[in-house]
Every structure is written in C-alpha cells, then in structure tokens.
Amino acid sequence: MSNMTKKFSFRSLLVFTAFGLALAGCGGGGNNGTNNAGGTNAAGNAANAAAGNESAPKPAVELLNVSYDPTRELYDAYNKLFIDYWKTEHNQDVTIKQSHGGSGKQSRAVIDGIKADVVTLALGYDIDAIAEKGLVNEDWQQKFENNSSPYTSTIVFLVRKGNPKGIKDWGDLVKDDVSVITPNPKTSGGARWNYLAAWGYALKQSGGDEQKAQAFVGDLFKNVPVLDSGARGSTTTFVERGIGDVLLAWENEAYLSVNELGKDKFEIVYPSISILAEPPVAVVDKVVDDKGTREVAEGYLDFLYTEEAQKVIAENYYRPQLTSVAEQYKDRFPELELLTIDNDFGGWKEAQTKHFADGGIFDQIYTPGS
Amino acid sequence: MAGAVTAHLSDSASVRPKHVTEKPIVRWLLTGIALLFLGFVVLLPLVAVFVEAFQQGVNLYWASITDPDAVAALKLTLITALISVPLNTVFGIAAAWAITKFRFRGKNFLITLIDLPFSISPVISGLIFVLLFGAQGWFGPWLDSHDIQILFALPGIVLATTFVTFPFVARELIPLMQAQGVQEEEAAASLGAKGWQIFFRVTLPNIKWGLLYGIILCNARAMGEFGAVSVVSGHIRGETNTLPLHVEILYNEYQFSASFAVASLLVFLALITLGVKSFVEWKSAQRAKGGEANGTAS
Amino acid sequence: MKGSKARSVLPGFGLSMGFTVFYLCVLVLIPLAGLVVKTTGLTWEQFWNTVTSGRVLASYRISFLTAFFAALINLAFGLLVAWVLVRYRFPGKKLIDSLVDLPFALPTAVAGIALTAIYAPNGWIGSLLDPLGIKIAFTPLGITIALIFIGLPFVVRTVQPVLQDFERETEEAAVMLGAYRWRTFRRVILPELVPALLTGFALAFARGLGEYGSVVFISGNMPLKTEITPLLIMTKLEQYDYSGATAIALVMLLASFLMLLFINYLQWRSNRRAIAD
C-alpha cells in the first residue's frame, strides 16, 4: 500500500497547491493525514518484518483485499474478526481495504496494476489469469488447504413464495410457461456456475449425450427474458422488478435475498443435483514482496480456516470446510449431489474454452437464425 | 435558491414585444408540450430517486450521506472535478478562439477530433488509459519502476474524467462564437486593442453565458461520470470510489435507499452549480441595469 | 463580412492553435493511438471476423437505430424546450431550466436504475402500460427512452445560447417585411439555429451510441434483440480478450468519427451559406 498511498496523497497535495483550494467546504477531513500515516508505517513495517522483531508493538499495516461481489457481507464481518485476532496475537494494527466487483473485472484490475495483497475471487480461472502474468506463483492452489478454497457454495433456485409453478428440479426450468432469471455467463462468474450445473444435470439425465445437453441448456436459455450482466443485477430483476418465476443464484445470495428482501415473498428450492463452487483465495506474491506485507497477508488467509472464521463464514451462508463447523450448521446447508469442476468438467480452462469462449457452446445458443 | 432568482429573470428575452412573439394560445400549447415532455423524461426519474431515497426515513438518509465512505467519495469527486473542469475550460476557450476567429485547412477535421470523446463509449474511455498506464500497458513497466501509480489512484480518475468531459466547453463555445462572427473583434483590433484586451473586453462579455453553460455541463458530467471512472478506479472503498461508484456499490449491497440517498447528493451538487450560475447571472444583471438599453446592441 | 480578412487582423492564432493541438494530442490522440495499436495485434482476418460476427452485427443495428431515434426525438423536443425556456415566461421556469441538466449530473447507473424502476412491468408507468400489451423496459423501446434521457441536454444546451443571443433586430426586420410568425421562424430563425441543432443532434446521437451505464439496466441484454455494442465490448474484456474488445471499439469509433465529420461538414456549409447571404 505504501507506494500507492504516498503517491495518492502527494498528488492530492499537488492539486491543492496548484489550484490554491483549501477545500474547507468539502466536509469531513483528516483523511489525508491517515493516508500519510499509513504510507510511512507500512514502509516501516517492511523493515521491521525483515528484522523479525516480535516483542515491541509493530507499526500498523494496511492490506487490500480484492474480492468479488457477493462476499461483501462476509468480509465485512471477517475483517473485524481478523483485526482483533492479529492485534492480540501479533500486537500489530491492521487496516483492511476492500474492493468488490465482478470477478473477471477484479482479476483484470490486479493484472493491470492495482496493488492487491490478497485476492479472493469467484473462480480459479480468474486467479490463473493473474498467475499467467507472474503476479501470483503458479502453485497458488496448493498454498492453502482445500485447493485454496476456505469456503464453498452451490447453485440453488429462488422461487416466489408457495412455489406457484411447482419448480423442483432443473427439468422444470425448460417448461414453456416457466421464466428463468440468470445473469449472462459471458460477463458473470456466477452465471457460469449456473450454466455448468444445468449442463451437468442434462448430461446425467441423458447418460452423457452432449447433443442432448446442448439442446437442454438451449431450451433453458430460451426461457430467460432478461440477461443481466452481473449476479446482483439478476437478483434485482427477480426481486424488485418481479420478473421471472425462478432465479438461479448462489446459495449465499439466495439466503441473503430471502433475509434482506422478504422472508414472506420467496423460498429456496434445492435441485436434485448442483455444482460445487469453490471460490479460491491467493496471496498476490509480487505485491506482498514489494510491500513487505507477506506475513500479515498469509496470516489473513490462513485465519480463514480457523474455527472462529469458519463460523463467520457459515453465518454468511457460505459452506464451511471445517467438519466441526459444518456439523454445527448442517441444518442450514442441506446435502445434495454436487458436481465438481475438476472431475466433471476437466477444470476451468477446459470448461471456459468449450463453453464460454467466443464461438463456444454458449454462443451457439444465440447464433442468428437458430 | 430559485425564489430569489426568478424575480430578475424578466430579462429582455422574456418580455418580448407583441409583434415578435406568438399568440398566447400557441405559447401555452408549446409550453405545455415542453413541460409534459420534461416531466416524463427528466422529472419522473428525479422523483423516483428522491422517493426511493426517503423510503426508509430521514434518519437512514442522513446516516448514508454522512457515512465516512460516502464523505470520502464526495471529496474525491470534488477534487476530480476541480482539476478537470479548469483544464477543459482553458482548452475550450483556446480551441474555440482558434476555430472561430481564423480560417485554416482541416477545420472540420479538428472540430471532429474535439467531438470524439463524446462518441467514445465510456467503457472504452477507461480502457484506453488501462492500455497506456496499466501494468501490462505501454508505460506500465516504466511507471512501476519509478513507483508512480496512475491507474487505481487519483491521477487515473482525473485523466478519465478529463477525457470524458473534454469537449464540453469547446463544443458550447464554437457554435456561439461562430454565430457571432468576428466583426466586433476586428473593430477592436482596428482601434488598436491588444490580443488579451480584445479577448477580455470584447469576446468574453459576448460569450460569458455560453462559457458558463459549458463549464456547468462539464462540471456536472465530471461529477457524474461512471463508466470510464469505473474502469480505472479499482473500487477501493474510502479511497478510489467516487460518488457515482459509491452509489453503485450501495445498490449492489441491496441498500437501495442508501444508494438513492447518495445519488440525491449528486443531484444537490448539480443544483448548487446551477445556483452559482443563477447568482452570477443575477449579479451581472444588477450591474448592467444602468446600461441595459445599449447592452444587447453593442 | 469577409472571413478571410480575419486572419490578418486578429492575434492569438499561434498560441490558441498550438495549445489546442497540444492538449488534444496528449489527452485524446495518444490514448486513442494506443487503442489502434492494440488492434494491430490481430491479423486482418481475425479483425474482420470479430467485427462482422452475427451477434456483433445485430448489436450495431440495435445501437445505431436506438441512438438515432432517440437523437431525432431529442432534436424536436430539445428545440421546443429551448425555445420555451428562452422566450416564454411561466412560473417555476428557473427550476425547469435547471432540470434540463439533470441527465448530466445523475450518474448513468442511477439513471438506468431509476428508469427501469419506472418502466418495468411493475413500475409506475410500466404497470399502466403492461395491461395494454406495451412493454418498455427490456425492449429496444426502453433503450431508446434511456438514450432520450441521456441525450436531451445536449440539444437543449447547444441551442439555448444561440437562441438567447439571437438578435431581435433580424426578427423585427422580418416582421416589418410582413412575414408571418411561422414563416419568420422557418425562414429567419431556423436557418440560424441549424448549426447548433446539428451539433446537438450529433452529440446526442454519438453519446447514445456509446452509452453503457444506464442502458444495461433497462435493456435486458438479450443477445440479438437488445444487446448493445458497448456490452459486447465489456463481454470481450471479461474474457481477457483485449484485442477483440478494441477491435469492436475501433469500429464504433470510426463510425462515430465519420458521422461527426459529416455533420461538421454540413454545419460548416450551412454556415458558409449564411455568410454568403
């Protein structure tokens, strides 16, 4: 963070003098001061970490976590927990900055130079893209437990209260009178999971006939009246605009919608089969080495696997990895058959090229004249 | 704000002699249609913003606009506008002067180049700076080795904003100065006036309203720009989020009321700029009261 | 009025022109050059395939048609609004005048959300029209409405200053010559307004072509039906396909550049004619 904050406040300072503006009327204040303090402190920390001094209170440090959209509430809660933990265990103040956006967009921001210490994204594919540019070590997926995925999730159906269309499983989604809401798999990471879950179901039903699976997802997307560009856009279309009979959503998003936007209006339906989504995390090696924040960045991700953190994860409707916590919250997360990207789709790279790249199977659904 | 200003609005344009205006019925009809159109196209969305903003009460409204992240976003937005607007104003005046007061080859080409940022999708406007300054871009490695952060920091946001609002002042001035021609400046020059004198004494008074409009439009757009800034900002909370981005973030957190509350803040900012404009108009009208008769003719 | 004389009499050409060109280069031309260079990473064939694939062609059609109709509507109503605001007196005029700038000030995403809330099938207006079978949100009609909103101030604010500075003497002369009101308007006022009107139209149109933030909310983004070109660019970026994205961007850029050039030429011609008269 040090370079960036320094630069930032330096520029602001320049601006102030250049235009002779006191900015008195702009409200608030002191933000600049904090930024400056953060800058020097982080620099100090680099030296300190090298010395490995444990006894004296360490200077404050700042982390930037670049994450995807649905994790806002999770990391809001988790950051508080981690800051307390790090303060007591390591006697060091940490401030954590968050950046959220579509997973692909966030990954591009890291590639283009945002100084993220850690990335917590929706798909391994997006971190692979960062690794390809050498910012993250190639073996990132082995650095933390469970393929570097401290939590998992799955795709479920959100339907209107009472389930008027009687939607029970994927097969119901291709009926003529059912209207399905999902974001566009080309622009939304979450939507790719939706699509692949549907594909997996159809493949299983037809005993592995890809032709039939393609026809099935084609029929499904013919029932989609609005293709929003992101997962939250779709939720708004379904919840606020009242369009569609069923929303394909992350499990945690579905719970969040029910809790935040109306328990009496929606209910969640678990299909017979879905997909195991493993949102991965990684330390951005190049950035933490430049900034000297490796210790705290790794601590930040390691701590995700502890019991306390896993509870926060479960509270936010992500499926915990730790068996003890999973046991505790098992009523919340019904068991269902889950396909995995690696076993059933040959990994993200293959799934991406086959289904979502230009001219891939998804594009063929929307070929003119079809 | 509006009350004080309406009183003076009876400038020469509004009170027209009967023979150069339409019959009352035509006037009312035209006004009615115009108002109806504005009502549907502009007023309704505005009302929607405020209705949503206050849906959950004044307390929540206040809480959302005084949230530290919102205040930081407001500051960033104002700083950005304060840099890009003056830059583009100076450019606009220079460009309009060169284009309207002289004849040269390729004038249309130049005007078209100036218009260009308008026609570029905001997405692309952000992208071009990523291509230049991104870690993988042309200047990326050099900037990185010199520890200069342009993208995902203030400079990038300012660049994108300046690019997007680039043509506003120039575009406002060019048709106006074209319609006014060059006689007055020529007359002044033939009387021996120097360049800057001509500009400040003759041209500036003639174009001041157009210039003011241009600055206001430029400013409004600078504060409201979303697409291009979204590409270069990095969305770091409390640090590189401008107000429009903050609105989107809140909206994506299902905090609909809070998001519209912050959006209404942008509307207020726009209204303040317009208030300033009205005040300037009013002031100058007061000063010119004595010489109103020859005010328009000269 | 002989324009050619101006060159010799008025000072400041070198300074203003120099600054203009310099600023233009730094801020617009160099960044845009980056875009062009990026596209050269593609072979000609790849480029051609990218920019003429079925989905992309359909999106051009949607983007151009909606932007064109929105600009056309704005041309008519923008002139009317400017006229009413400059020439007539009515209560609350100042407030109405300020309203015109709102589409600039409102972040496009907010505009999109607000418009969708109004025109969605369960929205204020959408719910009235839905029983009649008229759908606005998530159809090209919705896109057009969003673009009307976005483009309106361009027309009003380019016409308004010209109308304000319009010399009453010219009009009075026409009246003294016995011209009727409508005739005065058509023969005397309108020709004077043509440059400003054209500019306003061009700007509203060009802005509409590229608009992204407000449209994605109201369009529904259905491929081949309501998918706009900027969304396709975003789609390419999402797949790390920078060259593909810049290729489509370049096509849009060229199209609007040519259109703006044409309109600027028309404007210059009409201006010349006015001078010749």
Q: ipTM, 2 decimals? A: 0.80
Nearest CA-CA distance, residue B29 and chain A, Å? 36
Cross-chain Cβ contact A229/C234 below 8 Å: yes
- Contact yes or no for C110/B2 (Cβ under 8 A): no
Give CA–CA dist B180/C164, Å, rounded: 12
Task: Name all contacts of A347-353 with Cβ < 8 Å and 24+ positions apart.
Answer: A348/A123, A348/A124, A348/A125, A348/A128, A349/A125, A349/A128, A351/A192, A351/A196, A352/A125, A352/C239
Pairing, β A273-277 against β A337-340:
parallel
Give CA–CA dist A144/A303, Å, rounded: 11
In one-letter notation, the amino acid at residue A339 is L
Give CA–CA dist A237/C117, Å, rounded: 10
**CATH no. for A59-149+279-305:** 3.40.190.10
pLDDT-based confidence at residue A365 (cuts at 50, 70, 90): confident
Position A17 scores a pLDDT of 38
What does the mean pLDDT of chain A come to? 83
Give CA–CA dist C268/B195, Å, rounded: 26
Whether residue C69 lies inside any domain: the answer is yes
Q: Is A7 on the interface with B (CB under 8 A)?
A: yes
Nearest CA-CA distance, residue A100 and chain B, Å? 7
Q: Could you give the C-alpha distances from A45 to A2, A3, A88, A135, A298, in angstroms and in order? A: 10, 13, 17, 22, 15
Give CA–CA dist C37/C29, Å, rounded: 12
CATH of the domain at C271: 1.10.3720.10
Domain chopping of chain A, boundaries? 59-149+279-305, 153-276+335-365
Tens-place pLDDT, residues B157-212: 999 999 999 888 998 888 788 878 888 888 888 888 888 888 898 889 888 878 88
A-interface mutation test, from B145, B239, B257, most A Cβ less than 10 A away: B239
Q: Kindly report the pTM of this predicted structure.
A: 0.81
Checking if the pLDDT of A49 tops 60, the result is no
* Dihedral pair phi/psi, residue A262, rounded to 5°: 140, 100
Position C41 scores a pLDDT of 81
- The number of distinct structural domains making up chain C is 1
Position B144 scores a pLDDT of 85
Give CA–CA dist A196/A81, Å, rounded: 34
Nearest CA-CA distance, residue B96 and chain C, Å? 9
Position B85 scores a pLDDT of 95
| Helices and strands, number each (H, E), in chain B | 16, 0
Checking if the pLDDT of A29 tops 90, the result is no
Whether residue C11 lies inside any domain: the answer is no
Contacts of A166 (CB under 8 A, 6+ apart): A172
Contacts of A331 (CB under 8 A, 6+ apart): none
Cross-chain Cβ contact B152/A64 below 8 Å: no
What share of chain A has pLDDT > 90, as a percent?
58
Select the more confidently predicted residue: C29 or B296: C29
Give the CA count within 13 Å in the CB-facing half-sphere of B200. Answer: 5
Checking if the pLDDT of B23 tops 80, the result is no
- For residues A218-227, give the mean pLDDT: 91
Position C174 scores a pLDDT of 65
Residue reference for tokens 């929105």: C70
Tens-place pLDDT, residues A244-293: 999 999 999 899 888 877 778 899 999 999 999 999 999 999 999 999 99
Q: Is C42 on the interface with A (CB under 8 A)?
A: no
Burial C167-185 (b: 16+ CB within 10 A, else e): eeeebeebbeeebebeebb
What residues make up the domain containing C200?
Answer: 62-224+251-276
Position C78 scores a pLDDT of 94
Collapsed DSSP state (helix, strand, coil) of residue B148: coil
- Residues in A 127-146 with any Cβ partner in B closer than 8 A: 133
In the structure encoding, which two tokens stand for residue B287, read together? Answer: 């000063």
Interfacial residues of B (vs A; Cβ cutoff 8 Å): 68, 71-72, 74-75, 78-79, 82-83, 86, 130, 133-137, 140, 144, 147-149, 151-155, 234-239, 249, 251-254, 256
Whether residue C57 lies inside any domain: the answer is no
* Dihedral pair phi/psi, residue A119, rounded to 5°: -120, 140
Residues of B in contact with C32 (CB under 8 A): 116, 128
Query: Which run of H or of E encompasses C232?
Result: helix C229-238
| SS (HEC) of chain A | CHHHHHHHHHHHHHHHHHHCCCCHHHCCCCHHHHHHHHHHHHHHHHHHHHHCCCCCCEEEEEEEEEEEHHHHHHHHHHHHHHHHHHHHHHCEEEEEEEEEECHHHHHHHHHCCCCCCEEECCCHHHHHHHHHCCCCCCCHHHCCHHHHCCEEEEEEEEEECCCCCCCCCHHHHHCCCCCEECCCCCCCHHHHHHHHHHHHHHHHHCCCCHHHHHHHHHHHHHCCCCCCCCHHHHHHHHHCCCCCCEEEEEHHHHHHHHHHHCCCCEEEECCCEEEEECCCEEECHHHHHHHCCHHHHHHHHHHHHCHHHHHHHHHCCCEECCHHHHHHCCCCCCCCEEEEHHHHHCHHHHHHHHHHCCCCHHHHHCCCCC
Give CA–CA dist B97/C18, Å, rounded: 12
Q: Could you give the C-alpha distances from B85 to A16, A138, A206, B158, B220, in angstroms and in order? A: 15, 45, 62, 10, 10
Position C272 scores a pLDDT of 67
Whether residue C175 lies inside any domain: the answer is yes
In one-letter notation, the amino acid at residue B48 is A
Residues of C in contact with A368 (CB under 8 A): 54-55, 58, 224
pLDDT-based confidence at residue A160 (cuts at 50, 70, 90): very high
In the structure encoding, which two tokens stand for residue A155, read together? Answer: 């795709």
Q: Is C137 on the interface with B (CB under 8 A)?
A: no
Q: Is C104 on the interface with B (CB under 8 A)?
A: yes
Position B116 scores a pLDDT of 85
Give CA–CA dist B126/B226, Å, rounded: 10
Tens-place pLDDT, residues A84-100: 999 999 999 999 999 98
Contacts of A51 (CB under 8 A, 6+ apart): none
Give CA–CA dist C15/B91, Å, rounded: 11
Residue C207's closest CA among C135, C260, C247, C158? C260
- Contact yes or no for B127/C240 (Cβ under 8 A): no
Position C117 scores a pLDDT of 83
Position A181 scores a pLDDT of 95
What does the mean pLDDT of chain B come to? 82
Whether residue C229 lies inside any domain: the answer is no
Whether residue C246 lies inside any domain: the answer is no
- Each residue's pLDDT, cut to its tens digit, for chain C (277 residues) gives 334 434 446 888 888 999 999 999 988 898 888 888 888 888 888 899 888 888 889 999 999 999 999 999 999 999 999 999 988 888 888 778 878 877 876 778 778 888 888 898 888 888 888 888 888 888 999 999 999 999 998 899 888 878 887 766 666 666 666 666 777 777 778 888 888 888 889 889 888 888 888 888 888 888 888 889 988 888 888 777 888 888 998 898 888 888 888 877 877 776 666 655 5
pLDDT-based confidence at residue B138 (cuts at 50, 70, 90): confident
Angle at A280 between CA A323 and CA B149, to 5 degrees: 145
In one-letter notation, the amino acid at residue A103 is S
User: Is A153-276+335-365 the same fold as A59-149+279-305?
Assistant: yes
Residue A361's closest CA among A227, A113, A192? A192
Tens-place pLDDT, residues A58-83: 889 999 999 988 888 899 999 999 99
pLDDT-based confidence at residue A51 (cuts at 50, 70, 90): very low
Q: Which CATH superfamily is domain A153-276+335-365 in?
A: Periplasmic binding protein-like II (3.40.190.10)
Residue reference for tokens 């680099």: A46
Chains linked to A by 3 or more Cβ pairs within 8 Å: B, C
- DSSP percent split of chain C into helix, strand, coil, nearest 5: 80, 0, 20
Q: Is A186 on the interface with C (CB under 8 A)?
A: yes
In the structure encoding, which two tokens stand for residue A73, read together? Answer: 């509430």
Position A317 scores a pLDDT of 94
In one-letter notation, the amino acid at residue A135 is L
Give CA–CA dist A318/A151, Å, rounded: 6
DSSP for C158-211, written as a single string: HHHHHHHT--HHHHHHHHHTT--HHHHIIIIIHHHHHHHHHHHHHHHHHHHHH-
